[in-house]
Amino acid sequence: MQPYELPLTAAADAIRARQLSPVELADSVLERVEQVEPRLQAYVTVAAEHTRRAAREAENDIAAGRYRGPLHGIPMGLKDLIDVAGTATSAGSRVRADHRAQADSTVAARLSAAGAILVGKTHTHEFAYGLTTPQTNNAWDTGRVAGGSSGGSAVAVAAGTATFTLGTDTGGSIRVPSALNGVVGLKPTYGLVPRHGVTSLSWSLDHVGPITRTVEDAALVLTALAGHDSRDPASLTTPGTDYRPTADADLTGLRVGVPRNYYFDHVDEEVEAAVRRAIEQFQSLGARLVEVEIPMTRYIQATQWGLMVPEATAYHESTLRTVPELYQADVRILLETGELMPAGDYLRAQRSRTLMRQEWARMLQEVDLIVAPTVPATAVRAGQETITWADGTVEGVSDAYVRLSSPANITGVPSLSVPVGHDAVGLPIGMQLLGRPLGEGVLLRVGQAYEQTQPVRELARSVNDCLGPA
């Protein structure tokens, strides 16, 4: 196994034991970038010189006894919405082509303090306003979409061109590409991870979180990220927590909610079968399955769009009026639509969200978590605009991808996407675990318990098989 193939936890253990140097790991990752990046296009920019210099500094610090913890010397990618001082943050748009950050975002500063090393900035759908990331190709089939808007971040982890990355999630933008590329994606509780210095799409729905190869890796990164920051008005005043789950896979007594409605409606047969097999695995580990009724389902998509569209338009008000021609057509249409939405519709969406949060809180008193598909279908072909379901219903790709992920954004509850196999043509399938606010510990414990029942996934090798010769 090459160093770039190591999950974060394994790489950290090897570095701490002096069996792997940060320089060796960085060199391996950068060589991997040179090999596959022309076909995958996960990165906007790669800071190879900075990466190598920071790896040498990390190696010297560790040798001198100044080890900072499990992220020290680990190569990472950051979505091109996240400010790093002196580095461009274009948000995937010509509107921000000349923008260069003057200071680190909170999350970038915390990761830097923990010793993580920046490889580069990863592609996003323009201003995170989409579910496909058109610049980037799926790591398992370059003719298919990567998912979005954190597509570059998910592909980089899947392909081994970063050991971990950060993405943002407003309607599923961490979990959707994670599911489509066979990696782990965590959308934390709203407000748990500060967003200062991160370009906004919709401030009441935006989240920042990790994309990793394993659940334990996600816990390590979340531990470094979480904590109050007064510069983010939504930041929670929660104490620092070590989110790493115990190795115990016994789920005896845990109540796992299985939706009887919504989450398995208009879902591909192979996706449903894979998720239900995983649910059976929870039962074999001692969990008790409890059927739950998802509340207010007819209002979910209207509430998501009713909040996101006007908030996004408000954020872009100035540039939309001064340089509208610099936006991509799909994003510009959505932003202009927001200008036409009545204030009453936005207020009704706010009231709907309040009621939905209350109903979800009641539902989550009955169970410890809910399990469901992350997305209803695997990665579609690039350029495909619709999905036709078995009953003949036709649905837009973006609507389909956001449909199962957006409830966690509306309610603010945490959601963890984990891989649960592949379809008949080898494309990854994802399952999401949804929990109570600040219930990340439960989700990570359950996700790891499931992960331990599965064969070790050598993702980069599998992606090599899909990509073929360089």
Residues known to be catalytic = 79, 149, 173
**Tell me, what amino acid is at 275?**
V
φ and ψ at residue 369, rounded to 5 degrees? -165, 170
CA dihedral 12, 14, 16, 20 (to 10 degrees): -110
**Tell me, what amino acid is at 234?**
A
391 CB burial (10 A radius; 0-12, 13-18, 19+) = exposed
Q: Take residue 397 and report the two structure tokens written for it.
A: 């790709």
CB-based contacts of 280: which residues, under 8 Å, 6+ apart? none
How far CA 14 is from CA of 10, 24, 74, 357, in Å, comes to: 6, 11, 11, 43
φ and ψ at residue 100, rounded to 5 degrees? -130, 125
How far CA 141 is from CA of 180, 380, 425, 467, in Å, comes to: 10, 10, 10, 7
> Residue 76: which of 122, 21, 44, 109 has the closest Cα?
122
Q: CA neighbours within 13 Å on the CB side: how many for 349?
A: 21
Q: Take residue 468 and report the two structure tokens written for it.
A: 């073929």
